[in-house]
Amino acid sequence: MENLTQTAKIGAAGSFINQMMGNNSSLPVVGKGATQLHYTDRTAFDVVEVSEDGKTAKLEYLNAAWDRTKEGGQGHQNWLLTPTGRFVTVTWRNGAWRKVGCEIVFTEAFQKQCSDAGINYIGMHLRKNNPELADMIYGGRPMPQNVVEGYTKEKKCYDKINILFGEKEYYYDWEF
């Protein structure tokens, strides 16, 4: 099996401990935890599914509530972790673990049509010249939110995630 070792850039800003924990070869195992390592914070997950090749896993976000029956300090409370019913899929791709998601983008045909018409800023053009279509696409947000036949489509995206499998740890840095 391929070596699935992720590396975090040591010396970059953020928690040194999180950077060190980010350099690992841990693998997802159903029933075990996972910890996403942020700049200073940590998000906890349960691993609920793993593909046969071990390169894709479905994770459930865990909610963290302070267990007030036990002593704790800022960020270091004894956390009660409970399932949220919210899931994310991660996959090993291009030498790193990545969250699998999707974004709404303009179709190639519509982009070409706009380019041929000399339109460089599609969103600005739509808001000015076709506000109804703009509202359908953008839904009042800055980025496209909805698939509109002939104009937008869903595109799969892969965002790098710094993760440690086998541990489920929540941490909140109160200073940020």
pTM for the model: 0.79
What is the Cα–Cα distance from 174 to 37, expressed in whole angstroms? Answer: 16
- pLDDT tens by residue, 5-34: 777 665 555 677 777 777 788 899 999 999
SS3 content of the chain, % helix, strand, coil (to 5): 20, 40, 45
What is the Cα–Cα distance from 44 to 64, expressed in whole angstroms? Answer: 8
Residues of the chain with pLDDT under 70: 1-2, 8-14, 71-77, 175-176
